[in-house]
């Protein structure tokens, strides 16, 4: 292959969407060369910094991404932030196509009075904190509280309540950040409320995740019989089996004894947050009872009730971060696109493209489709590609983390593991870079 035939693609973001894009492009076109540019020194996006620390089997999907990284026609360049170290315009000059795969790292706002009080900690920050994400490692949430309200009825809310409810023993096989374990496990938390504005059948959590809430050694999960229907109605056939299983789990939770264990998880449906109460700090949350009509609309009843709590964790969705020079849809919190196409030679995949939806595998289907579009629309133009990027990196003295450097970080994290834990993650970029730059350890 001559240099002129090389199709140079830069993928911004080394999460699932970025990796599946690199995999799909290089599988479909032997002339494609993909550079994956990542702001952190570590790859894998939310697989490392979002997926729950006690769900290690899910995190194992990163092995597939490692294989992609090790291909000759793919490079990982970490510690390189687009918008800080390099602009999108510069990348567009260097590459035939640029793909934004930066995910949706910010919490959607909880737009109710009092949402800015101390003690309201969005799930992006809270999950990032317990997962050693460098952006949130210094969050220091105050967990000297006896009651926490988690808002949301999806798997992120379930993850948060489970991590708050499990004991040190139950987390032994996890990579929960030790500084988080030191705060969560001795916390005086007695009550955790998981509040959803819709009903139990509308809830988005999946059966396996819901079922785990019934198996906690230290926490009694309770649901209210008066909020559960006798049977599942009004759902599509393909959803019926899972919804019936969910309802069975919830019915079993009705039998549990609140206060029967040191912590109690209260499943509260038909409850919409309207105000965070307290002075500077949260002292409670006001919720409105709702009903859900036949079309699935959530309707406020006007009946209010308060729950005392000192911490609120909204798990209500995410927004992407704007990038200079790329159009952004403020209401949707993502880059407006047509099936992944943003503008000439500029594309997007994953959560940056479609918002926070689906499973990890959804990003693969998505990436395959966007890659096919790129290959149909873009041809090689003899662009400088990776060599041009390397020259720019050198000119700016950027301290890039290559995949072999990441493997050093990974090895050090695994070496630091205690007992049956898989690793202790570095939470600060400076510590990661110390490992990368350690000349004795190369």
Binding site for ligand FAD (CB under 6 A): 12-18, 37-40, 45-46, 50-51, 55, 58, 81-83, 101-103, 127, 155-156, 159, 321, 350-352, 359-360, 363
C-beta of 285 vs 315, nearer to ligand FAD: 315
Residue 159 or 288 with smaller CB distance to ligand FAD: 159
Does residue 3 sit in helix, strand or coil?
Answer: helix
**Can you say whether the dihedral through the CA atoms of 425, 427, 429, 433 is positive or negative?**
negative
416: which 2 tokens? 């630091």
Beta carbon nearer to ligand FAD, 102 or 153 = 102
Beta carbon of residue 300, minimum distance to ligand FAD (angstroms, whole number): 28
- Cβ(181)–Cβ(166) under 8 Å? no
Query: What is the nearest approach in angstroms of ligand FAD to the Cβ of residue 2?
Result: 30
Query: Measured from the CB of residue 351, what is the shortest distance to ligand FAD in angstroms?
Result: 4
Closest to 148 measured CA to CA, from 184, 177, 112, 176:
184
Q: Of 163, 174, 178, 166, whose CA–CA distance to 126 is shortest?
A: 163
Name which of 273 and 317 has its Cβ closer to ligand FAD: 317
Burial of 271 (0-12, 13-18, 19+ CB in 10 A): buried
Nearer to ligand FAD, 103 or 333 (CB): 103
DSSP type of residue 173: T
| Beta bridge pairs of residue 304 | 288
Chain Cα centroid distance, residue 259: 32
Closest CB to ligand FAD among residues 58, 70: 58
Q: How far is the CB of 409 from ligand FAD (least distance, A)?
A: 14
Alpha helix ranges (H) inside 173-322:
178-184, 207-212, 237-254
User: What DSSP letter does each residue of 79-126 carry, written as one string?
Assistant: S--BTTTB-HHHHHHH-SEEEE-----EEPP--STTTTSBTB--HHHH
CB of 15 or CB of 199, closer to ligand FAD: 15
CB of 124 to ligand FAD, least distance (A): 7
273 three-state secondary structure: strand
Which residues on neighbouring strands pair with residue 287, listed in sequence order?
273, 305
**Cβ–Cβ < 8 Å for 316, 104:** no
d(CA 179, CA 295): 46
| Least distance in angstroms from the C-beta of 72 to ligand FAD | 23
Residue with smallest beta-carbon separation from ligand FAD: 15
Q: Which residue has the tokens 């970080």?
A: 409
CB-nearer residue toward ligand FAD: 254 or 433: 433
CB of 257 to ligand FAD, least distance (A): 29
**Minimum distance from CB of 188 to ligand FAD (Å)?**
25
Residue 367: DSSP 8-state: H
The token duo for 300 is: 């406020």
CA 143, CA 434: separation in Å to the nearest integer? 31
Nearest distance, CB of residue 52 and ligand FAD, angstroms? 6
Q: Is the CB of 89 or the CB of 299 nearer to ligand FAD?
A: 89
């Amino acid at each position: 292959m001559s240099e002129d035939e090389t199709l140079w693609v830069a993928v911004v973001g080394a999460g699932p969407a970025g990796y599946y894009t690199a995999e799909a492009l290089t599988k479909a076109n032997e002339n494609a060369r993909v550079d994956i540019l990542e702001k952190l020194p570590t790859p894998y996006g939310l697989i490392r910094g979002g997926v729950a620390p006690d769900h290690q089997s899910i995190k194992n999907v990163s092995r597939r991404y490692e294989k992609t990284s090790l291909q000759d026609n793919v490079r990982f360049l970490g510690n390189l932030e687009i918008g800080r170290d390099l602009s999108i315009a510069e990348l567009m000059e260097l590459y035939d196509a640029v793909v934004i795969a930066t995910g949706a790292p910010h919490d959607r706002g909880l737009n109710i009075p009092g949402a800015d009080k101390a003690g309201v900690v969005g799930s992006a920050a809270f999950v990032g904190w317990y997962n050693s994400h460098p952006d949130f490692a210094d969050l220091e949430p105050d967990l000297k509280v006896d009651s926490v309200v988690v808002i949301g009825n999806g798997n992120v809310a379930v993850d948060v309540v489970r991590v708050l409810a499990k004991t040190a023993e139950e987390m032994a096989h996890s990579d929960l950040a030790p500084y988080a374990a030191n705060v969560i496990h001795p916390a005086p938390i007695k009550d955790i409320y998981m509040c959803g504005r819709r009903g139990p059948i509308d809830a988005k959590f999946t059966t396996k995740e819901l079922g785990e809430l019934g198996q906690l050694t230290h926490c009694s999960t309770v649901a209210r019989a008066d909020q559960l229907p006798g049977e599942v109605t009004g759902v599509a056939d393909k959803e019926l089996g899972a919804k019936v299983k969910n309802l069975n789990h919830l019915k079993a939770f009705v039998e549990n004894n609140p206060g029967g264990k040191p912590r109690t998880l209260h499943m509260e449906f038909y409850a919409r947050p309207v105000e965070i109460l307290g002075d500077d700090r949260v002292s409670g949350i006001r919720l409105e009872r709702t009903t859900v009509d036949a079309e699935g609309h959530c309707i406020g009843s006007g009946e209010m009730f308060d729950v005392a709590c000192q911490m609120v964790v909204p798990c209500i969705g995410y927004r992407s971060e704007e990038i200079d020079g790329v159009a952004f849809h403020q209401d949707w919190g993502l880059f407006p696109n047509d099936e992944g196409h943003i503008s000439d030679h500029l594309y997007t995949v994953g959560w940056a493209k479609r918002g926070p939806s689906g499973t990890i595998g959804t990003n693969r289907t998505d990436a395959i489709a966007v890659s096919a579009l790129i290959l149909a629309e873009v041809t090689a133009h003899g662009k400088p590609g990776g060599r041009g990027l390397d020259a720019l990196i050198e000119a700016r003295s950027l301290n890039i983390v290559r995949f072999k450097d990441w493997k050093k970080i990974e090895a050090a994290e695994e070496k630091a593991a205690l007992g049956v834990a898989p690793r202790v993650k570095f939470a600060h970029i400076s510590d990661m870079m110390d490992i990368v730059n350690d000349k004795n350890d190369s």
